[in-house]
């Protein structure tokens, strides 16, 4: 992963960065590891390269084998809807203020999920979780490592009434006649990641709604009245 040219060929940039953190340190130690691991340290990258670039069905990512049968576990999690996480205009009417943080429920859900996963692995006799932190350190550890929140939603959330949201079920802004919002910001809640598919569904549905004869006639009447 650290070799300038070859590293980019072994894994997608995001995966490579998650392993190296974008830093090139301890090159000498890595070279020693390569020498110690011969010939596997050369055969494994060669195999990955072949599967990623020479096969018709290409290898999408990299999952390296651990001789110790130990693997790091990374978590992604959805946050609960919380009004305290919000974007709003400052008093000058121009500056955007962003307030974002984790709630206790967010952190507790991550800890609980790890407990359930550990119980299932042990029950199936195929593994167990070993924590990097003590039990009383988990809350702070999760809060400190959760720095890459993505796919924020809800800033123009959909609701049944104007008191509880910004747009109605047809994505029309409450109190307007022809202002619509087609964005993942209308999601009251979101899945763990990748909301683009549902956003595409919303776009198709909104297009069908706007192109319906009823809406077309409504727009014509509005133009005539204007």
In a domain, 75, yes or no: no
Task: Looking at the chain, list the stretches that DSSP marks H as alpha helix, in order from N- to C-terminal side.
Answer: 6-10, 13-20, 27-36, 40-53, 104-124, 138-145, 196-210, 213-225
**Residue 86 confidence (pLDDT) above 70:** yes
Q: Go through the chain and tell me how many residues it has.
A: 226
43-70 per-residue burial string, b: 16 or more CB within 10 A, e: under 16: eebeebeeebeeeeeebeebeeeeeeee
Query: Average pLDDT, stretch 110-131?
Result: 95
Q: Are residues 122 and 176 in the same domain?
A: no
Q: Is the pTM of this model over 0.75?
A: no
Last residue of a domain, one of 115, 145, 175: 145
Q: Are residues 17 and 61 in the same domain?
A: yes
In a domain, 48, yes or no: yes
Q: Are residues 55 and 127 in the same domain?
A: no
In a domain, 80, yes or no: no
In a domain, 105, yes or no: yes
Q: Are residues 161 and 225 in the same domain?
A: yes
**Residue 92 confidence (pLDDT) above 70:** yes
Q: Are residues 141 and 154 in the same domain?
A: no
Q: Are residues 130 and 65 in the same domain?
A: no
In a domain, 1, yes or no: yes
Determine contact, residues 103/80, Cβ cutoff 8 Å.
Answer: yes
Q: Are residues 222 and 160 in the same domain?
A: yes
In a domain, 215, yes or no: yes
Which domain covers residue 39, as residue numbers? Answer: 1-70
Burial class of 154 by CB neighbour count within 10 A (0 to 12, 13 to 18, 19+): buried
Tokens 């407990």 — which residue?
Answer: 115
Read off φ and ψ for residue 167, nearest 5 degrees.
-125, 160
Q: Are residues 133 and 155 in the same domain?
A: no
Residue 72: pLDDT band with limits 50, 70, 90: confident
CA 47 – CA 55 distance, rounded (Å) = 11
Give CA angle at 106 (103, 111), nearest 5°: 130
Tally of structural domains, the chain? 3
**Residue 63 confidence (pLDDT) above 70:** no
Q: Are residues 59 and 113 in the same domain?
A: no
Q: Are residues 155 and 225 in the same domain?
A: yes
For residue 196, the model assigns a pLDDT of 86
**Residue 7 confidence (pLDDT) above 90:** no
Q: Are residues 98 and 159 in the same domain?
A: no
**Residue 105 confidence (pLDDT) above 90:** yes
**Residue 28 confidence (pLDDT) above 90:** no
Residue 174: pLDDT band with limits 50, 70, 90: very high
With a CB cutoff of 8 Å and minimum separation 6, the contacts of 143 are 102, 107
Last residue of a domain, one of 95, 123, 145: 145
Determine contact, residues 195/220, Cβ cutoff 8 Å.
Answer: no
Q: Are residues 34 and 98 in the same domain?
A: no
Last residue of a domain, one of 94, 123, 145: 145
């Amino acid at each position: 992963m650290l070799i300038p040219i070859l590293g980019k060929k072994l894994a997608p940039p995001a995966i490579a960065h998650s392993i190296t953190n974008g830093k090139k340190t301890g090159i000498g130690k890595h070279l020693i590891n390569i020498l110690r691991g011969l010939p596997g340290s050369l055969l494994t990258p060669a195999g990955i390269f072949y599967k990623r670039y020479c096969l018709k069905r290409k290898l999408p990512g990299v999952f390296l084998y651990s001789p110790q049968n130990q693997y790091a576990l990374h978590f992604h999690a959805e946050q609960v809807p919380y009004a305290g996480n919000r974007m709003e205009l400052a008093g000058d009417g121009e500056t955007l203020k962003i307030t974002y943080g984790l709630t206790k429920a967010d952190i507790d859900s991550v800890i609980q999920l790890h407990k359930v996963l550990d119980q299932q692995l042990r029950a199936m006799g195929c593994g167990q979780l070993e924590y990097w932190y003590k039990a009383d350190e988990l809350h702070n550890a999760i809060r400190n490592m959760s720095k890459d929140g993505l796919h924020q939603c809800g800033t123009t959330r959909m609701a049944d009434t104007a008191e509880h949201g910004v747009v109605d079920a047809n994505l029309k802004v409450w109190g307007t006649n022809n202002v619509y919002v087609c964005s993942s910001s209308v999601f009251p809640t979101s899945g763990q990641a990748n909301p683009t598919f549902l956003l595409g569904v919303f776009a198709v549905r909104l297009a069908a709604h706007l192109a319906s004869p009823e809406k077309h006639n409504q727009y014509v009447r509005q133009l005539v009245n204007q």
